[in-house]
Amino acid sequence: MTFERSWGALAIGAAGLVVLVAGGAILFRGFSPDEGALRPAANGEPSPDTPEGDPTGAEYWRYCSIDGYLASQCGGTVSSCPPGTLMSPISWIGTCRNPQDGKDYIVSYNDCCGKGPCGGVFVHRNEGDKPVYYAQKSNDVGWCMGPADAVYNSTVSVVIGVADGPDH
């Protein structure tokens, strides 16, 4: 057997092994008793296994009116800014429905400031968004101002109340 042929046989063998392992894994998962089960929700949140409950994805329920980089993907969390940044004390607000309990919540979208744009996951949703002249409900206003007057980094989504008024 030449050198080239032996390498070829090795490659074919390796490929076959990969197919077997992958197939086995698929079969095993197919018979797993946990298939399709969702992790339980925490603190009234939807299950993190659903798009509406996954804070790393654009469909997360609190992000209904966000326009920015997700702080949770930049070193922070859904409600805390990344290390070393400043959270803007003023913000715009949205009203988002939590599919877990069916309630509408007021969500404050505070910007995190003082470091360059995060560059991670950028989510742009406009439920209830208003133009800049209606600033408190506009996701186009750059809120890194006042005590947090610096460059924009990312945005948090903080639940600050339950919406119960007609204007929400």
Inter-CA distances, 164 with 18, 95, 96, Å: 56, 10, 12
165 counts as binding other proteins under rule CB under 8 A: no
167 lies in the site for other proteins, by CB under 8 A: yes
Using CB under 8 A as the binding rule, whether residue 51 contacts other proteins is answered as: no
Residue 62, amino acid: R
CB atoms inside a 10 Å sphere around CB 118:
22
At residue 47, φ and ψ (nearest 5 deg) are -60, 135
Pick from 49, 59, 101, 140: which binds other proteins (CB under 8 A)? 140
Nearer to other proteins, 31 or 133 (CB): 133
In the set 57, 120, 126, 158, which binds other proteins (CB under 8 A)?
A: 126
Catalytic one of 49, 61, 67, 92: 92
3-state secondary structure 36-101: CCCCCCCCCCCCCCCHHHCCCCCCCHHHHHCEEEEHHHCCCCCCCCCCCCEECCCCEEEEEECCCC
Q: Is 111 a catalytic residue?
A: yes
Based on the shown chain and the rule CB under 8 A, indicate whether residue 116 belongs to the binding site for other proteins: yes
Residue 61 annotated among the catalytic residues of the structure? no
The CA distance from 19 to 11, in Å, is: 12
* CB nearer other proteins, residue 8 or residue 142: 142
Judged by CB under 8 A, which of 9, 18, 135, 160 binds other proteins? 135
Interface residue with other proteins among 99, 114, 120, 168 (CB under 8 A) is 114
Q: Annotated catalytic sites, by residue?
A: 92, 111
